[in-house]
Amino acid sequence: MAHQIVATGRSRTGIPTGRLAVWWIIGSEIVIFGGLIATYLLNRFNHGPSWSAEAAHTNTFIGAANTFWLLTSSLFVVFAHAASERQDAKKTRMWIWLTIMLGGFFMGFKSYEYVTEILHGYTIFTSNFWSFYYLATGLHGFHVLCGMVIMAIIAENDIKNERNWHRVENIGLYWHFVDIVWIFLFPLMYIAK
Amino acid sequence: MSGHKHPSYLKIYFTLLILFIVSVLGPEMAHVLGLEGVPRALLVLSTAFGIAIWKAYLVCAYFMHLKVEKIYAPYILLACLSLLFVFFFGTATDAMFANGHNWVKKYSEDEALAEVIARDEHHEDDHGHSESHDDSHNEERSH
């Protein structure tokens, strides 16, 4: 017997179950990433000169390029959402794969940056700043990677078979949140030196 | 959220790009103009972080459709944000001090800064300025 989905909407909130779940995930992520960013600010206020000297080593060009990739991917994922509302499978898949491609650019640039920093001797053990840098950007990169995998599954498993169109919006919400986290990490790590 | 009219996504995107450029140029301007102290802090904070908040608002309001989402979604996000502030201020009150009841923070900012400077000097002695892939890093360091 085929699996029956019974709870597709929450009558109290008026929000579909899947989307409501994503909002809760984003809420929990706010505490995780918000905690990291708050800790960074605390350390920056307490240990300004040494953290500032360490931050001077990050590569602003790569940080800016990665901001551009993520901002553009956010645009592509809303185009995917708009196409899914029209139930246009071809366009939806195209925009999803373009979003994944930009996520790939982000990960490629990030990997190059990590390799360069490590080769120059800046590892996770170098100082508190670098520990924070690798933890925050690594955790963010992991979220980007997860988003790319989930989008690929949605494109090839759901949209290709013209079902579960709502999942495009759900992964889009998650992707925008990942973009917002980077919007805050970028000035912290690459701009305020 | 189907059924509502979509905003002009391209318009939002280009606004985000312009804000992004300003957020990069602002702190650079502070450096070029040689600003120090409060003027520098004000320029960097307003262009880098003020604009980050503005960009986050645009993404939330228009790309995530929070402007037209049911009110419960912003409530969820605000509740979690409030929880974050509770956690933060619960621990920041201790972390901001150098000592407390039966504890002393064994950290010296002067020593930490001296360690960074010594490491950078040692690093430059080892690598010199001849390596092409070092250029961007050396330039950053000089800032």
Which residues numbered 8-37 in A keep a CB inside 8 Å of some CB on B?
Answer: 13-15, 20, 23-24, 26-28, 30-31, 34-35
Nearest Cβ partner for B6 among A45, A75, A82: A82
pLDDT at A8: 60
Output B95 or A94, whichever has higher pLDDT.
A94
The overall average pLDDT reported for chain A is: 90
Spatial contact of A50 and A141, defined as CB atoms under 8 Å apart: no
pLDDT at B71: 86
pLDDT at B142: 41
Chain B residues with CB under 8 Å of A61 CB are: 136
Q: What is the pLDDT of residues A63-72, one digit of tens each?
A: 999 999 999 9
Q: What is the pLDDT along chain B (143 residues), one digit of tens a residue?
A: 555 666 789 999 999 999 999 988 888 888 888 887 788 888 888 888 889 999 999 999 999 998 888 888 899 999 999 999 898 888 887 777 777 788 887 777 777 788 878 887 777 666 655 443 444 444 444 44
Find out if CATH 1.20.120.80 is the number for domain A18-191.
Answer: yes
Residue of A nearest to B26 (CA): A191
Contact B83 A79 (CB under 8 A): no
Q: How far is CA A170 from the centre of its chain?
A: 13
For chain A, domain boundaries? 18-191
Q: How large is the average pLDDT for residues A12-31?
A: 89
Chain A residues with CB under 8 Å of B1 CB are: 169
Q: Is the pLDDT of residue A30 over 90?
A: yes
CA–CA separation, B111 vs B109, rounded Å? 5
- Reduce the DSSP state of residue B69 to 3 states and report it: coil
Which residues numbered 90-119 in B keep a CB inside 8 Å of some CB on A?
Answer: 92, 95-96, 107, 109, 112-113, 115-117, 119
Contact B141 A59 (CB under 8 A): no
Asked if A5 reaches chain B (Cβ–Cβ under 8 Å), the answer is no
Q: How large is the average pLDDT for residues A45-71?
A: 87
Burial code (b: 16+ CB inside 10 Å, e: under 16) for B23-49 equals: bbebbeebeeeebeeeebeebbeebbb
Could you say which DSSP state residue B106 is in?
-
Q: How far is CA A62 from the centre of its chain?
A: 16
Write the DSSP assignment of chain A as a string of letters: -PPPP---EETTTTEEHHHHHHHHHHHHHHHHHHHHHHHHHHHHHHTHHHHHHHHTTS-HHHHHHHHHHHHHHHHHHHHHHHHHHTT-HHHHHHHHHHHHHHHHHHHHHHHHHHHHHHHTT--TTS-HHHHHHHHHHHHHHHHHHHHHHHHHHIIIIIITTT--THHHHHHHHHHHHHHHHHHHHHIIIII--
Number of Cα atoms under 13 Å in the Cβ half of residue A99: 35
Nearest Cβ partner for A180 among B56, B81, B141: B56
Q: What is the pLDDT of residues A33-46, one digit of tens each?
A: 999 998 888 888 87
Spatial contact of A51 and A182, defined as CB atoms under 8 Å apart: no
Spatial contact of B2 and A85, defined as CB atoms under 8 Å apart: yes
CA–CA separation, A173 vs A169, rounded Å? 6
How close is the nearest chain B Cα to the Cα of A1, in Å? 31
First to last CA, chain A: 60
Per mean pLDDT, which range of A13-22, A164-173, B55-64 is the poorest?
Answer: A13-22
pLDDT at B127: 60
Return the bridge partners of A169, or none.
none
Per mean pLDDT, which range of A45-49, A80-84, A89-93, A134-138 is the poorest?
Answer: A45-49
* Both structure tokens of B33: 């103009």
Could you say which DSSP state residue B133 is in?
G
- Reduce the DSSP state of residue B100 to 3 states and report it: strand
The answer to whether ipTM exceeds 0.85 is yes
Q: How large is the average pLDDT for residues A95-122?
A: 95
